[in-house]
Amino acid sequence: MAVGHDLLAVLSEAGRVCVGLVFLLAATQKTRHWRIFFGVVANYRLLPRLLVAPAAALLPPLEMMVGLLLLSAQLLSWALPTAAALLLLFAGAMAINLRRGRADIDCGCGQSFLKQTLSWTLVARNLVLAALLLPSLAATGPLPMAAALAGAGAGLAFFLLYLLLNTLAALPRPDVHDHHFA
Protein backbone atom coordinates (compact mmCIF):
# COMPACT_ATOMS: atom_id res chain seq x y z
CA MET A 1 0.00 0.00 0.00
CA ALA A 2 2.98 2.32 -0.38
CA VAL A 3 1.44 3.84 -3.52
CA GLY A 4 -1.76 4.69 -1.64
CA HIS A 5 0.20 6.22 1.21
CA ASP A 6 2.35 8.27 -1.19
CA LEU A 7 -0.72 9.46 -3.10
CA LEU A 8 -2.38 10.49 0.15
CA ALA A 9 0.80 12.33 1.14
CA VAL A 10 0.93 14.20 -2.19
CA LEU A 11 -2.78 15.10 -2.00
CA SER A 12 -2.34 16.23 1.59
CA GLU A 13 0.54 18.53 0.69
CA ALA A 14 -1.25 19.83 -2.42
CA GLY A 15 -4.37 20.72 -0.48
CA ARG A 16 -2.46 22.44 2.30
CA VAL A 17 -0.35 24.46 -0.14
CA CYS A 18 -3.31 25.53 -2.26
CA VAL A 19 -5.56 26.48 0.66
CA GLY A 20 -2.66 28.09 2.52
CA LEU A 21 -1.95 30.33 -0.47
CA VAL A 22 -5.66 31.15 -0.82
CA PHE A 23 -5.77 32.26 2.82
CA LEU A 24 -2.59 34.32 2.47
CA LEU A 25 -3.93 36.08 -0.63
CA ALA A 26 -7.31 36.76 0.99
CA ALA A 27 -5.71 38.08 4.19
CA THR A 28 -3.33 40.32 2.26
CA GLN A 29 -6.07 41.79 0.09
CA LYS A 30 -8.43 42.32 3.04
CA THR A 31 -5.65 44.04 4.98
CA ARG A 32 -4.80 46.29 2.04
CA HIS A 33 -8.46 47.30 1.74
CA TRP A 34 -9.53 47.09 5.38
CA ARG A 35 -11.79 50.15 5.22
CA ILE A 36 -13.89 48.48 2.55
CA PHE A 37 -13.84 45.11 4.28
CA PHE A 38 -15.77 46.39 7.32
CA GLY A 39 -18.64 47.32 4.99
CA VAL A 40 -18.48 43.95 3.27
CA VAL A 41 -18.83 42.12 6.60
CA ALA A 42 -21.69 44.41 7.63
CA ASN A 43 -23.42 43.92 4.27
CA TYR A 44 -23.81 40.19 4.89
CA ARG A 45 -26.27 41.14 7.68
CA LEU A 46 -25.46 38.05 9.73
CA LEU A 47 -23.74 39.54 12.75
CA PRO A 48 -25.13 41.94 15.33
CA ARG A 49 -23.85 45.45 14.59
CA LEU A 50 -21.68 45.32 17.72
CA LEU A 51 -19.73 42.31 16.38
CA VAL A 52 -19.11 43.54 12.81
CA ALA A 53 -16.03 45.65 13.61
CA PRO A 54 -14.31 42.97 15.75
CA ALA A 55 -15.04 40.29 13.13
CA ALA A 56 -13.73 42.48 10.31
CA ALA A 57 -10.62 43.31 12.35
CA LEU A 58 -9.87 39.73 13.43
CA LEU A 59 -10.56 37.87 10.20
CA PRO A 60 -7.51 39.00 8.14
CA PRO A 61 -4.92 38.20 10.86
CA LEU A 62 -6.63 34.86 11.50
CA GLU A 63 -6.56 34.04 7.77
CA MET A 64 -2.89 35.06 7.62
CA MET A 65 -1.99 32.86 10.57
CA VAL A 66 -3.93 29.89 9.21
CA GLY A 67 -2.34 30.31 5.77
CA LEU A 68 1.16 30.45 7.22
CA LEU A 69 0.54 27.42 9.43
CA LEU A 70 -0.83 25.41 6.50
CA LEU A 71 2.22 26.26 4.41
CA SER A 72 4.67 25.53 7.21
CA ALA A 73 2.98 22.26 8.19
CA GLN A 74 3.19 23.37 11.84
CA LEU A 75 0.37 23.02 14.34
CA LEU A 76 -1.79 21.33 11.72
CA SER A 77 -4.02 19.93 14.44
CA TRP A 78 -5.18 23.52 14.96
CA ALA A 79 -4.80 24.98 11.46
CA LEU A 80 -6.60 22.29 9.46
CA PRO A 81 -9.92 22.35 11.32
CA THR A 82 -9.78 26.15 11.57
CA ALA A 83 -9.20 26.52 7.82
CA ALA A 84 -11.98 24.06 7.02
CA ALA A 85 -14.34 25.75 9.49
CA LEU A 86 -13.64 29.19 8.01
CA LEU A 87 -14.26 27.95 4.47
CA LEU A 88 -17.52 26.28 5.53
CA LEU A 89 -18.54 29.40 7.47
CA PHE A 90 -17.92 31.57 4.40
CA ALA A 91 -19.86 29.15 2.19
CA GLY A 92 -22.72 29.16 4.68
CA ALA A 93 -22.80 32.96 4.90
CA MET A 94 -22.94 33.19 1.11
CA ALA A 95 -25.64 30.52 0.89
CA ILE A 96 -27.81 32.26 3.52
CA ASN A 97 -27.62 35.53 1.59
CA LEU A 98 -28.31 33.80 -1.72
CA ARG A 99 -31.39 32.17 -0.16
CA ARG A 100 -32.45 35.63 1.02
CA GLY A 101 -32.22 36.85 -2.58
CA ARG A 102 -29.15 38.99 -1.88
CA ALA A 103 -26.86 37.84 -4.70
CA ASP A 104 -25.79 41.38 -5.56
CA ILE A 105 -23.47 41.92 -2.58
CA ASP A 106 -19.68 41.63 -2.77
CA CYS A 107 -18.46 38.23 -1.59
CA GLY A 108 -15.62 39.80 0.42
CA CYS A 109 -13.21 37.19 -0.85
CA GLY A 110 -10.42 39.73 -0.63
CA GLN A 111 -9.74 40.38 -4.27
CA SER A 112 -10.94 43.96 -4.58
CA PHE A 113 -9.79 44.22 -8.16
CA LEU A 114 -12.10 41.31 -8.98
CA LYS A 115 -15.36 42.37 -7.39
CA GLN A 116 -17.44 39.25 -7.22
CA THR A 117 -21.05 39.12 -6.27
CA LEU A 118 -22.41 36.12 -4.42
CA SER A 119 -23.16 33.01 -6.42
CA TRP A 120 -23.65 29.31 -5.88
CA THR A 121 -20.37 28.86 -7.77
CA LEU A 122 -18.55 30.70 -4.96
CA VAL A 123 -20.31 28.54 -2.38
CA ALA A 124 -19.17 25.44 -4.28
CA ARG A 125 -15.64 26.85 -4.59
CA ASN A 126 -15.35 27.18 -0.81
CA LEU A 127 -16.69 23.66 -0.33
CA VAL A 128 -14.08 22.34 -2.79
CA LEU A 129 -11.32 24.24 -0.96
CA ALA A 130 -12.47 22.71 2.33
CA ALA A 131 -12.51 19.26 0.69
CA LEU A 132 -8.89 19.77 -0.44
CA LEU A 133 -7.94 19.64 3.25
CA LEU A 134 -9.49 16.20 3.83
CA PRO A 135 -6.39 14.19 2.80
CA SER A 136 -4.39 16.11 5.42
CA LEU A 137 -6.69 14.83 8.14
CA ALA A 138 -5.90 11.23 7.15
CA ALA A 139 -2.19 11.63 6.33
CA THR A 140 0.17 10.24 8.92
CA GLY A 141 3.90 9.99 9.34
CA PRO A 142 6.75 11.99 7.86
CA LEU A 143 6.40 13.22 4.30
CA PRO A 144 9.00 11.82 1.86
CA MET A 145 10.86 14.55 -0.04
CA ALA A 146 9.53 13.40 -3.43
CA ALA A 147 5.95 13.52 -2.12
CA ALA A 148 6.53 16.94 -0.56
CA LEU A 149 7.86 18.37 -3.82
CA ALA A 150 5.14 16.77 -5.93
CA GLY A 151 2.48 17.95 -3.51
CA ALA A 152 3.85 21.49 -3.34
CA GLY A 153 3.92 21.64 -7.14
CA ALA A 154 0.38 20.30 -7.39
CA GLY A 155 -0.79 22.74 -4.69
CA LEU A 156 0.75 25.64 -6.57
CA ALA A 157 -0.94 24.44 -9.77
CA PHE A 158 -4.29 24.21 -7.94
CA PHE A 159 -3.77 27.74 -6.61
CA LEU A 160 -3.02 29.08 -10.10
CA LEU A 161 -6.17 27.36 -11.36
CA TYR A 162 -8.07 28.98 -8.48
CA LEU A 163 -6.76 32.40 -9.57
CA LEU A 164 -7.67 31.75 -13.19
CA LEU A 165 -11.20 30.62 -12.35
CA ASN A 166 -11.72 33.62 -10.04
CA THR A 167 -10.56 35.97 -12.77
CA LEU A 168 -12.87 34.38 -15.33
CA ALA A 169 -15.80 34.43 -12.89
CA ALA A 170 -15.26 38.14 -12.19
CA LEU A 171 -15.24 39.20 -15.83
CA PRO A 172 -18.34 41.15 -16.84
CA ARG A 173 -20.79 39.07 -18.76
CA PRO A 174 -22.27 40.56 -21.92
CA ASP A 175 -26.00 41.01 -21.86
CA VAL A 176 -27.51 38.51 -24.30
CA HIS A 177 -30.10 41.10 -25.28
CA ASP A 178 -27.49 43.75 -25.96
CA HIS A 179 -26.44 43.37 -29.59
CA HIS A 180 -23.72 45.62 -30.98
CA PHE A 181 -23.37 45.65 -34.69
CA ALA A 182 -20.58 47.37 -36.54
Answer whether residue 84 is part of any domain: yes
Distance CA 109, CA 1 (A): 39
Query: pLDDT tens, 154-182?
Result: 999 999 999 888 888 777 766 655 554 44
Whether 19 is in a domain gets the answer: yes
The answer to whether residue 182 sits within a structural domain is no
Residue 166, domain extent: 2-170
Radius of gyration of the chain (CA): 18
Summarize pLDDT for 117-151 with one digit per residue, the tens.
899 999 999 999 999 999 988 766 677 788 889 99
Whether 122 maps to a domain, the answer reads yes
- Domain count within the chain: 1
Coil, strand or helix at 175: coil
pLDDT of residue 36: 86
63 located within any domain: yes
CA–CA gap between residue 178 and residue 166 (Å, rounded): 25
Residue 126: inside a domain:
yes
Residue 177 placed within a domain? no
Q: What is the pTM of this model?
A: 0.87
Is 80 among the domain residues? yes
Alpha carbons 30 and 24: distance in angstroms, whole number: 10
C-alpha distances (whole Å) from 141 to each of 13, 19, 43, 53 are 13, 21, 44, 41
The predicted pLDDT at position 1 comes to 45
